[in-house]
Amino acid sequence: MNHPRVALPVPAPPPPPHHDEPVLDLAVPVFNEEKDLEPSVRRLHAHLRETFPYPFRIVVADNASTDATPLIAARLAAELPEVEWTRLAEKGRGRALRAVWSASSAPVVGYLDVDLSTGLAALLPLVAPLLSGHSDLAIGTRLAPGARVVRGPKREAVSRCYNVLLRCTLSVGFSDAQCGFKAVRRDAAAQLLPLVRDSAWFFDTELLVVAERAGLRIHEVPVDWVDDPDSRVALLSTALADLRGIARVGLATARGALPSGRPPRPFAVPVAVVALAHLLLYAALRPAATGQMANALSLLACWTVAQPVLRPLERSARPTLAARLALTAGSLAVLRHTAPAAGLRTELAVLAAAHLSLLLARSAFGGRRGRRTGSAVS
């Protein structure tokens, strides 16, 4: 006889305990992490107790978990004096960080992923320049000299391509946008959070872009990082969401809606947005047309609409329709020859690679030209 499943009651978070005001509020956003939550929080708590010289607080931010995560979080908060927890009704890492950081009174707020992929020895070097006033934000980086990283080739390639794309489209100066190991001065966070719209995985990138545009100081700490083989991040859906986020932030920058402490490259943002529009229109036309026909029609339509934006660019940086059409059509032809059964996702990946290669070439050419002439191209 089948019995109806009885849902576990979710306890309400208790009021914060009274102890010394923390200097650091460290959020740990979680969703259905009943396996890793307790060992990770206990390990983090022990490390901070042994090595961190100031009062601290660990806040487990439960993103509407449906397993035993809230029960475990409640038990940890009851047993460990520096641990608290809060529960959100909706998912989203950015949403969790916004809630914890906005409610904090600590001079420095930060977060790390619950899998503790980043070596905890980097935690004090991450926070120290914020406490001293040397920097406004600090990020762990897996892509700078001195970092030691263990992960599969697929995730390594995705991470490096994403950060190259950011440098080419949004002209960012930081090296690693998505490492789950960041901290920020609370006064800086209060300025930045109202300007950050994303509530999910793109939150980190948007926060850093806005901070850099505002002229805030970003300190990078090379980290030891070991990939979590049980990671449940959906690469495809996350990548698509990130592309939409890049396009939105790029358009906001072009409209002057973001702080302008450091202007972007004059060509990267509009060209990247046009390339993204081409991919979206190609995907819409592809079911009713051949690949070459869909490519030509979508590229021509995007370029025609984008001419008012592209025309003011310097002639050396202005992309040509002929170059784009030749490279994208050639890439599709090679794909069709080598993999006749390739689907739409593969075609889009090939077209995106073609656009990125031209963008990188234009970026490198523009940089060399700027150095020769003394122009302010960065």
Cβ atoms within 10 Å of 166's Cβ, excluding its own:
24
The answer to whether 61 and 54 are in contact (CB under 8 A) is: no
Phi first, then psi: what are they for 230, rounded to 5°?
-95, 15
Which residues is 25 bridged to in the sheet? 57, 109
Cβ burial, residue 193 (10 Å; 0-12/13-18/19+): middle
| 219-258 burial: b if 16+ Cβ within 10 Å, else e | bbbbbbbeebeeeeeeeeebbeebbebbbebbebbeeeeb
The answer to whether 201 and 238 are in contact (CB under 8 A) is: yes
Task: Indicate if 204 belongs to the active site.
Answer: yes
Among 62, 176, 204, 242, the one annotated catalytic: 204
Nearest to 319 by CA among 275, 271, 279: 271
Instruction: Write the CB contacts of 64 (distance below 8 Å, at least 6 apart in sequence).
Output: 31, 87, 88, 89, 90, 91
Nearest to 272 by CA among 254, 297, 288: 254
Question: How far apart are alpha carbons 92 and 204 in whole angstroms?
Answer: 12
Question: How far apart are alpha carbons 178 and 176 in whole angstroms?
Answer: 6
Q: Which of the residues are catalytic?
A: 204
